[in-house]
Amino acid sequence: MAGIQAFGGYVPRLRLPRRAISGAVSWFNPGLEALARGERAFASWDEDSITLAVEAARDCLVSRSRAGIGRISLASTTLPNADRQNSTVVKEALNLSDDIAAFDVAGSQRGGTSSLLDAFYAAAGGAGPVLCITAERGRHRSGSEAELVAGHAAAAMLVGPGDGAARFLGAHSVTLDFVDHFRAAGERFDYSWEARWVRDEGYAKIVPAALKVALAKSGVGPSEVDHFVMPAPLKGVNANVAKLAGIRPEAVADTLASQLGDAGCAQPLVMLSHVLERAGPNETIVVVGFGGGCDVIVLRTTADIADCRPASGIVGSLAARRPEESYIKFLAFSGLLELEKGMRAELDQKPILTALYRDRKTVLGLVGGKCRVSGNVQFPKSRISVSPGARTVDTQEDYPLAERSARVISFTADHLTYTPDPPAHYGTVEFEGGGRLMADLVDIDEGELEVGLPVRMIFRIKALDERRGFTKYFWKATPDRRLSVTGRNETAVA
């Protein structure tokens, strides 16, 4: 027996109104005006599928111990590294044990549900708790329907033995080479096939048959389904599939199309997290992932659902939105428009991979040191304590800082230093319990930055070595909006 022990999600703050896209390109494709309702979420310049995954996982693990997690998986079709394990970077950022299995799942829109299904089987088979994460930061050709329909997001599920918040009842998978779209290796954009064929021959025939088998395996009747979670970029497809399968119309879950968009591989788990945040005990949930066939997963919530809420969740992330009207800024942040960077950006940032390995806990995990003699906290950790009253050597123990609340004690807004999103905000933050760090300050609203501002640390891209294609990650500080959005500011157990 296995179940979802904790869950969480993350949606980037930035929201682009779809009318901003259609207004810019409808001269070329007037049909896009029909899709110009609502808004889509998009990542900042320093976010990718890895950083989105880290934030979703932290949201999931806010009140959970990270000790004992046996496996971590990262599912995405937009992983930034082709031959550097992406899930390993996430593992380091979460400061998980080195004695852990990690793997990437790619190549299919149902990668998120497939990895979740694998997590249930692994946890039931004795693999211990499994952290299943899925994230997507897709790029789409300018002026395409996909550009308006898509969105960026991530979700995470901690699966373990026992019922947890939602008990695994059963599942069924169908695998066949039904190609509704594809992207060849080395290509930047997907190529999509005709929508009516995808709807009628794909969703309408493949999914209902798989649903029938999955529900029968689980001992659940179609009318007993309380939440039908199936993303579908094509309007009305999920409602039509539910009707064909005998599932009540009111059970069809919100696809979040108007607020977020479709986050591809991540969307089934994003929607599942959104449903779990509002679900009560003893409710039946059916989750469908479509792509190269389909997965159907059947769950039932338990009385523990109320004790497994995330720190912010999808609801909190959606509420923390920041409108952005500039289509040009969206293109630049997405890497689809190259702006003149100026001479200040001409800096060779060759990675020192040996140093990164030796200091991976410091750089990727934000682990400082605490002197066991004086109690002083410092970052980075060093052999010699910074405490003037205790000139000690080799007395510092690992002291994780990423989950500790902090406040700004000094800051600067710099219009001369190069940054893709000027001005560059940076300053000194002081952690609760001790320790200071000079950090970049990101996602700052106008007039928001002030001394004493509560902040939290967030995992982001620090720099990109464009010559060699290596991404450097580090931690930045951002205003802690969880205080106002959810009323909660819990500290995770390291």
87 vs 65: CA distance, rounded Å = 19
pLDDT tens digits, 395-452: 999 999 999 999 999 999 999 888 999 999 999 999 999 999 999 999 999 889 999 9
Residue 493 has pLDDT above 80, yes or no: no
Mean residue pLDDT across the chain: 93
Determine the pLDDT at residue 256.
97
| Region for residue 345 given its phi and psi (left: phi exceeds 0; alpha: psi -120 to 50; beta: otherwise) | alpha
Residue 483 has pLDDT above 90, yes or no: no
Residue 494 has pLDDT above 50, yes or no: no
412 vs 387: CA distance, rounded Å = 27
Determine the pLDDT at residue 390.
76
Domains in the chain, ordered, with CATH? 2-333 (3.40.47.10), 343-366+401-485 (2.40.50)
448 vs 460: CA distance, rounded Å = 20
pLDDT tens digits, 383-407: 888 887 777 899 999 999 999 999 9
468 vs 316: CA distance, rounded Å = 37
Angle between helices 49-60 and 86-93 (to 10 degrees): 40
pLDDT tens digits, 122-151: 999 988 899 999 999 999 999 999 999 999
Cis peptide before 423 (omega within 30 of 0): yes
332, 44 Cβ separation under 8 angstroms: no
Q: Is 209 strand, coil or helix?
A: helix
Residue 69 has pLDDT above 70, yes or no: yes
Residue 94 has pLDDT above 70, yes or no: yes
